[in-house]
Amino acid sequence: MLSPKIETALNQQVVLEAESSQIYLAMASWAEVEGYEGISNFLFKHSDEERMHMLKLVKFINERGGHGIIPKLAQPPAKYKGIKPLFQMVLDHEIHVSSEINKLVDICLKEKDYTTHNFLQWYVSEQIEEEALARKIMDKLKLIGDDKAGHYLFDRDLSSIAAPAGGGKEGK
């Protein structure tokens, strides 16, 4: 059984994962309209992964006798200043998510909820991968700078860069 404190903290994480999915969906739609096919494919997939992160939490909360609450979400920005600022936002967002996951892990230890602590280890390693991928993408964009041909190739390459591993690893 979840303590009310842990249930509330997990539901806050549900909000964050749902917001992540929504933000990446808005970014994907913008990229598609701007003609960045590879980037939009990548972001649509990333949005799906975040929804899966949210679902996994909701199911866990419910299984442990709590109630996973589906939140109301704010509308994310519809427009972005360019692909570099967009991916900087992705990186900043993932760093924020990692820090929130770490706080959750800390709460579990303080509350001696080792089951939830164990469950959260999946999120800890997922965040390491997501942050590393976002950093790799930003490094590439810094190299390319404002070069239009570089942006074209980057967009093409991003289709082949695996989206964050997410659910793909589940059950393996």
Minimum distance from residue 69 beta carbon to ligand FEO (Å): 17
In the bound state, the residue with its beta carbon closest to ligand FEO is 53
Rounded to the nearest whole angstrom, what is the least distance from the CB of residue 146 to ligand FEO in the complex? 28
Q: Given the complex with ligand FEO, which of 90 and 151 has the nearer CB atom?
A: 90
CB of 36 to ligand FEO, least distance (A): 20
State the burial class of residue 32 (Cβ atoms within 10 Å of its Cβ: 0-12, 13-18, 19+): middle
Where on the chain is the footprint of ligand FEO (CB under 6 A)? 17, 20, 50, 53, 94, 97, 130
Q: Is 121 in contact with 53 (CB distance < 8 Å)?
A: no
Identity of the residue, 48 or 130, whose beta carbon is nearer to ligand FEO in the bound complex: 130
Q: Which DSSP category does 171 fall into?
A: T
What's at 157, amino acid-wise? D
CA distance 76 to 39: 18
Tokens of 139: 């490094």
C-beta of 93 vs 151, nearer to ligand FEO: 93
